[in-house]
Chain A
Amino acid sequence: MLTVKSLTKKFSSDGHDVTPVNDVNFIVPEGVFAAIIGKSGSGKSTLLALLGALDKPTDGSIEVGKTDITKLPDSKLTEYRRHDIGFVFQQYNLIPNLTALENVMLPMEFAGVKLLERKRRGVELLEKVGLDHDKQSRRSNRLSGGEQQRVAIARALANEPKLILADEPTGNLDTETGKMIFDLLHDLSRSNNVTIIAVTHDLEIAGKTDMAFKLKDGKLASGK
């Protein structure tokens, strides 16, 4: 279970104080596919970065299970990112000179998984997201947008995390491919009992998730 209490993030930009996340509270049960919706600049991506320990909040807490990750030192946060969460970015963010398989194997390498096991699981995950052997051995920058996002999803699942955070996972894709990626995430949520929190501005997609929160000017405006 993910419990967010009084979460606030402030920073200074061009001499002005900005509060992209302002006293946000919500709970997401385990195995649920939740969406965070809102307009550009509403604080969706900042909230996701806080949940993924990519940034530190100014105030409030984020409890994953019984651990408040806002209290963890940097070394523990690295372990949290390594073992407990998986990221899917709008820009895919694959390492361009590595193959699809090598990209998927990377988080497992960080987690200390042996080489043979890394390969076995990498191939299995890529097949699960629908990439055949030929695509697996291609450099990631030689794949299409949809294929790269599939690799990114496989990479996010590499260390079998409890939580996947997806920042506009369909934002760079055409409608049909976007739908396929969304369905893929949805299936994974169901089959692997993984909690998924996806940021999106696509209301149709948000409508298909189990939960949705709307952010407006950094504050939680409504939820379903």
Chain B
Amino acid sequence: MSVVMRGIKNTSRNWIRSGAVVFILAIGIGLALSMLVANQAVNNKIAELKANMGNTLIVNPAGGKGLEGGGEPLKSSDVEAIKSVSHVAAVDAAMPMMLQNQDSESLGMIRMKNGSGPLKTNLQSSVDPGTLGMRGGSLSASGEDGKPVSLPIQGAGITGNKDQSGAELSIVEGSKLTGEENTALVGKDLATKNNLSIGSTFTINDTTVKVVGIFDRESKFENNGVFVPLATAQKLTGLSDEVSFIVATVDSIDNLESTLDAIKNKLGADKVDVTSSQQNVETAISSLESVKTVSVVGFVAAMIAAGVITFLIMLVIVRERRREIGVLKAIGGSNRTIVSQFMVEGLVLVALGALVGTGFALASSNGIANALVSSNMSSSSDEQTSAGKMGNGPMVRMGGPGHAVTLGGNLKDTSNLVKNVTTSVGATTLLYGLLAALAIGIVGSAIPAWFIAKIRPAEVMRGE
């Protein structure tokens, strides 16, 4: 029987104790692995944020934003010009539009920039005006000419499948826009209100539009919306060749500032306003960095705890077997042999603990990661919510939800993306975690065995 086999066999001397040790180690190692996995997941999320959210630039006409302000409109040629700027990976253009039910009177001061007013539709707004909606001036549910009043339906023409903030639309039914003319994505609440499903049709300025998909933007206000291909929006509004704003995706967050300057130079600083979404994302990344720190500290603390547990358990085991160690030395066992035997014994316990702990980590890492992120994001999320509230109120009253959607949507999408951390236990992460566990197993078991093995056999045996 070799040293290794003897070490393994020794773990079965006391099943109850070994089981308890394995259980305690499994909790420690499992927690450590969960922290490691959470750390990896947060790392991935930061990379994803940097790649998808933090690297967008929004180009508006100078002095204008969405349906508000002034300045000269952007043209399709501006889109092409931005495409040619270095580090610009993708360009999406959008044109907000307001839809008003053809049988009701609108609230607020909605006017398209060509002075044509809102587009008429047979859709009913899914948002009731309520008290807040009436603050624009009308105090009753019917307008001046006796028609019922309703809130407008926000819409936009888009080139891809991203909203005005550059965030990918979450399609819950049907498919994305392909650019096919007179097709639309409708918000979940709007679809419910008007009994729309995939393949249903509705009208905008007497043009029949087919529903190809239903999206969910997680608020009643934003789910009261319609997205159509940019060309369709241009045709419906009669603003051919115009775009309201352009979203430029930069290849790396590091090139954001230089690209912002390059676009301004290309289109003329007096002609366009270029803003970046970097600040919001930096806030989110900062929160995630805190989670990373917490997970690293948690990993180290759990590993130290597992190491201390191993050390104390092995200390008890070694002290219990002092006489046996003396006998092994008396019959020719070297210090190295004895230490190796106890090390194997400790490693077997740690390996079993790691095995059970891995199962624990697999089951709990997602919950732990999301709990860490949620608890850490609550404060920054609160800050963002209050900022959103400050911005939303007056904008609705002014009847310009385009602006509110752009700003508020960006904050919310970042927050949602950050909160939705998905863990996956990678082989490398698992390997590092298990190697760390085995390292503490070696140290935790070798130290007590080494101290006992160095003592002269007679002292050990006399001490019994």
Interface residues of A, Cβ cutoff 8 Å to B: 46, 49, 52, 54-56, 75, 78-79, 81-83, 86-87, 89, 93, 95-98, 102, 105-107, 109-111, 155, 159
User: Of B43-51, B116-124, B132-140, B324-332, which stretch is located at the interface?
Assistant: B324-332
Which of B2-10, B173-181, B354-362 contacts the other chain? B2-10
Residue of B1, B329, B334 with most chain A CB atoms under a 10 A cut-off: B1
Q: B9 — which chain A residues lie within 8 A by C-beta?
A: 97-98
**Chain A residues near B3 (CB, 8 Å)?**
109
Hey, which chain A residues are within 8 Å of B329, CB to CB? 54, 78, 81
A52 to B456, CA, bound (A): 12
Q: Closest approach, in angstroms, between the C-beta of B335 and any C-beta of chain A?
A: 8
CB of B241 closer than 8 Å to a CB of A = no
Greatest chain A CB density within 10 A among B10, B331, B461 is at B331
* A102 CA / B10 CA spacing, docked (Å): 13
Cβ contact within 8 Å between B461 and A87: no
Is there a chain A Cβ closer than 8 Å to B111's Cβ? no
Other CB < 8 Å A-B pairs besides A54-B326, A81-B329, A102-B1, 11 of them?
A78-B329, A78-B332, A78-B334, A79-B332, A87-B331, A89-B327, A93-B327, A96-B13, A97-B10, A110-B331, A110-B333
Query: Assuming the A-B contacts A87-B330, A97-B10, A98-B6, are A54 and B456 also in contact, with contact meaning beta carbons closer than 8 angstroms in the complex?
Result: yes
Pick 10 A–B contacts, CB within 8 A, sort by A: A54-B329, A79-B332, A82-B331, A83-B332, A95-B327, A97-B12, A98-B1, A98-B6, A106-B333, A159-B332
User: Which residues from chain B sit less than 8 Å from chain A, CB to CB?
Assistant: 1-3, 6, 9-10, 12-13, 323-324, 326-335, 337, 456-459, 461
Given A95-B324, A97-B13, check contact A107 B331 (CB 8 Å): yes
Whether B330 lies near A52 (C-beta < 8 A) is yes
Residue of A nearest to B337 (CB): A110
Contacts of B458 in A (CB 8 A): 46, 49, 54-55
B332 and A110 contacting across the interface, CB-CB below 8 Å: yes
Of all chain A residues, the one with the shortest Cβ separation from B323 is A93
Residues of A within 8 A of B1 (CB): 98, 102, 105-106, 109
The answer to whether B337 and A54 have CB atoms under 8 Å apart is no
Number of A-B pairs whose CB atoms are under 8 Å? 68
Q: CB distance B332 to A81 under 8 Å?
A: yes
Residue of A nearest to B324 (CB): A95
Q: B332 and A111: CB pair below 8 A?
A: yes
- 7 A-B pairs with the lowest CB-CB distances in the bound complex, closest first: A82-B332, A55-B458, A110-B332, A54-B458, A49-B458, A54-B457, A93-B327
Cα(A21)–Cα(B196), bound, Å? 104
**Which residue, B1, B3, B324, B332, has most C-beta atoms of chain A within 10 A?**
B332
A106 CA / B6 CA spacing, docked (Å)? 10
Complex alpha-carbon distance, A86 and B3, angstroms: 21
B residues less than 8 Å from A46 (CB atoms): 458
Shortest distance in angstroms between B35's beta carbon and chain A's nearest beta carbon?
37
> Contacts of A111 on B, CB cut-off 8 Å?
332
- Cα(A55)–Cα(B457), bound, Å: 7
**B126 shortest CB reach to chain A, Å:** 74
Is the pair A55, B456 in contact by a Cβ cutoff of 8 Å? yes
Closest approach, in angstroms, between the C-beta of B250 and any C-beta of chain A?
67
Q: How long is the Cα–Cα vector from A62 to B52 in the complex, in angstroms?
A: 81
Q: In the complex, A78 Cα to B334 Cα: how many Å?
A: 6
B326, B328, B334, B458 — most chain A CB neighbours (10 Å): B458
Whole-angstrom CA separation of A180 from B329 in the bound complex: 28
Q: Which residues of B contact A93 (CB under 8 A)?
A: 323-324, 327, 330
Give complex CA distance A52, B10 in Å: 27
Contacts of B323 in A (CB 8 A): 93
Whole-angstrom CA separation of A87 from B331 in the bound complex? 7
State the Cβ distance, B291 to closest chain A Cβ, in Å.
47
A56 contact set on B, CB distance < 8 A: 456
In whole Å, how far is B215's beta carbon from the nearest beta carbon of chain A? 67
A97 to chain B, nearest CB (A): 5
Task: List, in ascending order, chain B residues with CB within 8 A of A95's CB.
Answer: 324, 327-328
A97-B10, A110-B337 given; A54·B332 CB < 8 A: no
Residues of B within 8 A of A87 (CB): 330-331
With A and B bound together, what is the CA distance between A84 and B399 in angstroms? 102
Alpha-carbon distance A214/B389, docked complex (angstroms) = 101
